Structure 1
């Protein structure tokens, strides 16, 4: 996708905590749309190949989590992590990572990822269809900045990481705040 493009309108199947349910698993299904996540807000969206995977769990997600205050200071209202994983996996990953600042978006069917052109095969890793790694700065559903890792391809032998890193997105936001971002 490119700057100025509008995100596709998709419905995500999420699971949310609801104490009224009681028991050991007090969660219910809740449909959330692209508009629910992005309308009227300036957000950072980053997508990655899979929950619980090394680069995602060690660098990318923790980096955005730890840097949240810096992003807020530059006008970011929310940061979302999207993966082609179901709501159960995404919720457990958020819990395991002890997230306080980052919201997770389960794109279990890969519909959103397909519609933004980032759905790739990762059969070489036993994953099937997954997201290519990217990040975006999105204002009211429209892309302001796009950060796609190089080499977008099915069954890529490597997992490039750097362009979509929290440090790179933050640097772009700082330059944008000074009026020098591309």
Structure 2
């Protein structure tokens, strides 16, 4: 499992833009940037839609004011679903990236299998990255939502 002090593995995440689906190489995208990345088990799911993503939407300006270049939301969904979810949540300040095959979650060691409910998904977490190196990792216990929220990340950035 990824830990504080480690560099993100090479991975590709997808984004639907006006020009179509763009495949981002994560290390390249995050190079020389301070990034808050948070992952959710699934777009349009209750906790993700009612609390996790909305918290980052509400605090995006305050988080970016702390020197954060990008706020990124990742889910084991395709780029089309992530785009639709971002629009529904008014998440214009958040980069919505799809990990359709869960390859990124697996590379991080942060995947879990929901069985027939949805298959392999990402665990819920937030992290602060500096040039793709993990500086903060807030990993949730299964079925919890206590430490990966936007308020906790903002408090850490203020510390």
- Name the CA distance, whole Å, in 2 between partners of 1:117 and 1:42: 22
- Please report the RMSD computed on the Cα atoms of aligned residues, expressed in angstroms: 1.2
C-alpha displacement at 1:88, in angstroms?
A: 1.1
Bigger Rg, structure 1 or 2? 1
1:44 aligns with 2:36: yes
Deviation string 1:79-113 (CA, Å, 9 cap, x unpaired) is 00000001111111111112121111100011110
Please list every run of 5 or more consecutive structure 1 residues that lacks an aligned counterpart in the other structure. 19-27, 152-158, 176-182
Secondary structure of the residue aligned to 1:9 is: coil
Please list every run of 5 or more consecutive structure 2 residues that lacks an aligned counterpart in the other structure. none
Given that 2:57 and 2:90 are in contact with CA atoms closer than 8 Å, whether structure 1 keeps it comes out as: no
Question: Normalized against structure 2, the TM-score is what?
Answer: 0.94
- Name the CA distance, whole Å, in 1 between partners of 2:90 and 2:65: 22
Q: Which residue of 1 aligns with 2:125?
A: 134
The correspondence of residues 79-94 of structure 1 with structure 2, limited to 5 A, is: 79-94=71-86
Given that 2:79 and 2:98 are in contact with CA atoms closer than 8 Å, whether structure 1 keeps it comes out as: yes
Q: Tell me how many residue pairs correspond in the alignment.
A: 158
- Name the CA distance, whole Å, in 2 between partners of 1:143 and 1:65: 22
Which of 136, 154, 157 is the matching residue for 1:170? 154
C-alpha displacement at 1:63, in angstroms?
A: 0.6
C-alpha displacement at 1:75, in angstroms?
A: 1.3
- Name the CA distance, whole Å, in 2 between partners of 1:14 and 1:103: 8
Q: Which residue of 2 aligns with 1:62?
A: 54
Extract structure 1 runs of 4+ deviating beyond 4 A. none
Secondary structure of the residue aligned to 2:44 is: coil
Which of 141, 145, 149 is the matching residue for 1:161? 145
Question: Normalized against structure 1, the TM-score is what?
Answer: 0.83
